[in-house]
Amino acid sequence: MINKIPEKWDTSKESLETLFFFYQVAEELLDDRTPDSFALPMHNALTLVFEIQYTSHILEQYGLVEKYYDKYVPIIIDEFLEKLQNDSVLKGILGFRLESIKKGFIEAKKDSSKIKMWIESFMQACSLSEYIDGCIEAIKISIKTNKCQKVLIQYVANYFISLIGIGYSKRFLRNELIQFFGLEKIESCEQIDVFLKKVSPAPQKFEFLILVDYKFFDFLERIEFKSDFFQNIKIIDVEKQKDILEKNRDGVELLAQYRRLVAKTSERKISVVSWETTTFDAYSAVQSFNDYVDSLQTLPRFFYHNMFSKTVYRFLVKRENGSYANIRLPSILNFRATSDRDSVEQLIKNVLNSKSMSSDASSSIIQAMEMHSNALESMNVLALFRNFWTALETLFSEPNEESIRENVVFSVKRIMQKIFVLKKYRAVYSQLEKALGNACLSANGINSFHSFVQYLASYDLESSEMKNIYSLLGKNPLMRNRVYTMKKEMSESKQFIETLNEHSNRIEQHLHRLYRIRNFATHIGCEVPGIKIAINHLHNYFDYVVNYILCKSANSDFVCGVQSIVFEAKNDEAIHESLIKQYKNISSENYMAWLFGPDEKMIDYSFDCL
């Protein structure tokens, strides 16, 4: 999260605050280290229509409509209709067709024969490029007129979701954002036009140098395998390219690695190849290249009984000035911070010694962690996804497959709902510490997580005490907006219950999506669009569930079994809602029960926000 205005900005102009807010929001949405409470969503309303189209097509292709349509498609339609209701850009494009399209999709929930017609009708009314243009105009207007920050967040999120949907990588978009707003001189809100034009959806031509083991490509030539993907691959004479490569460090490193590998083994045909392709950005290009090579190795691995053999070692992309720059493959899994050693060792000790948990609970957690470790060792995204789901099933095992699915969805939803407030407060407190520093917070009566929770509970939204916090964040509009919004969403009973219900609904939609992806990956071998985003959601859910159980045992709450944890969470959820209705508003007297229901020990959970 960016907390300070970059040095090259003209700080004398207050009119730039909304532009800086855009920069903060965009950077956070595109950063893989962002806590999931504030991360970029997987879908907007438009991309959900693509998901409906893909899902219904797969069901039709494999003759599964009758068996699975009612289980898979209506829940996506419901999610689409919810997002459509809050998407002013999309509603504006659909115009007078809006109500008929909504009605058509509602009818298609019960009649699979109508879904294709309504998908095509929607796509005729709104193309992806038209929607992206609409988001761009909405962002420009919001920044130049200082419109509502909450609405601007929605526009920015929908814009980037759409760009990623057509093939851009998050890393490229974030790099472009930081290069422009973090390094350029910013003097006017009009400069948003320049940035948005830089990342307009237009494919470009890229040229790469790739360090490879060419034996695999020899094999493809031997069996006369033809592919447009590889038609522009050519082995280059490394020594003839030496002068160009030695002009910068990345080229020198490729040369050094090439020579080391050649000297190390004669079993491989170490080569440098050139490759040209047309795509949206260099990161998505190298990911596609690596994935395609890996997929083609499946058959020879099977017949020759080989383990995974590394084929691609390094990528360099050609710059506009003719030099080459190193480009790393984006990681499938998002960044994970490592806890301090003492905490880790204590948690391991608790599990191994079955401290505050039964031997059955300890055994379930260890088995699930083994599956989690197996997932991390997987060599491709489908295996990774299947193993993460199996790790969840290991925690919530039931005797038959149908009940396993329902039990996983039910159980994870209950636990995620229980920790929702805790992880939101923990995430905001952590960000506030980084934004203001502990000394500043202590000077204003906030010297711990507990005192932060108590402070927000004790004062009204517009009180002088809360205005003091807002003023400390005067030059940090995103953090100021975040504290204000969280306080507003969780201070009054009706709004708080709506917030909790929205979260519960969103978790259920996520879990059903993850199960659909798991089924397509397991039974059909399909790599569903967006699977690399979804796999991080699945990873987060597993880690949150396990962390919650470990936090309970570490705080002397005896864990009889995983199912008892789920039952307790469901019961506590009902009690929590009744307490919120009873109290009506948060106060310094009731804040523990208001935020955490009957489980007040939760405030002491040292909970990592993923």
Amino acid 345: pLDDT: 77
Residues 374 and 499 in one domain: yes
Assigned domain for 610 exists? no
Residues 96 and 146 in one domain: yes
pTM score? 0.93
Residue 251 inside a domain? The answer is: yes
The separation between CA 276 and the C-alpha centre of its own chain, rounded to angstroms, equals: 30
Shared domain check, 506 and 487: no
- 275 and 381 part of one domain: no
Does 337 map to a domain? no
Question: How far, in Å, CA of 162 to CA of 22, rounded?
Answer: 17
- The number of helices, as runs of H, and strands, as runs of E, in the chain is 27, 5
Asked whether residue 242 is assigned to any structural domain, the reply reads: yes
Cα separation values, 61 from 56, 64, 74, 531, 532, Å? 9, 8, 18, 20, 23
Asked if 1 and 33 sit in the same domain, the reply is: yes
pLDDT at 216: 80
Question: What is the C-alpha to C-alpha distance for residues 385 and 391, in angstroms, rounded to an integer?
Answer: 10
Q: Say if residue 434 is in the same domain as residue 556.
A: no
The answer to whether residue 355 is domain-embedded is no
- Give tens-digit pLDDT for 199-249: 877 889 999 999 998 888 888 778 778 777 777 888 999 888 888 888 889
Domain membership of residue 2 (yes or no) is yes
| Cα four-point dihedral sign 407, 408, 412, 415 | positive
212 and 189, same structural domain? no
In-domain check, residue 342: no
Query: In the prediction, which pLDDT does 228 show?
Result: 79
How far apart (Å, rounded) are the C-alpha atoms in residues 303 and 590?
A: 66
Among the three residues 272, 305, 326, which one is the final residue of a domain in this structure?
326
Q: Are residues 558 and 442 in the same domain?
A: no
Cβ atoms of 126 and 44 closer than 8 Å: no
Q: Which residues in the chain show pLDDT less than 50?
A: none
- 248 and 138 housed in the same domain: no
Using DSSP, state whether 492 is helix, strand or coil: strand
58 with 197, same domain: the answer is yes
pLDDT score for 38:
95
pLDDT one-digit tens code per residue, 390-410 = 999 988 875 555 577 789 999
Residue 86: what are its φ and ψ, rounded to 5°?
-105, 10
Judge contact between 135 and 18, C-beta under 8 A.
Answer: no
pLDDT at 400: 52
Please check whether residue 93 is in contact with residue 131, taking contact to mean a CB–CB distance below 8 angstroms: yes
Q: How many CA atoms are closer than 13 Å to the CA of 405, on its beta-carbon side?
A: 12
**One-letter amino acid for residue 98 of the chain:** L
Domain membership of residue 333 (yes or no) is no
Note down the domain range covering 286: 204-326
| Residues forming a β-bridge with 212 | 271, 312
Same domain, 185 and 251: no
Kindly state whether residues 384 and 506 are assigned to the same domain: yes
Which sign does the torsion angle of CA 198, 199, 203, 208 carry?
positive
Final residue before a domain boundary, out of 282, 311, 326: 326
> What is the tally of structural domains in the chain?
4
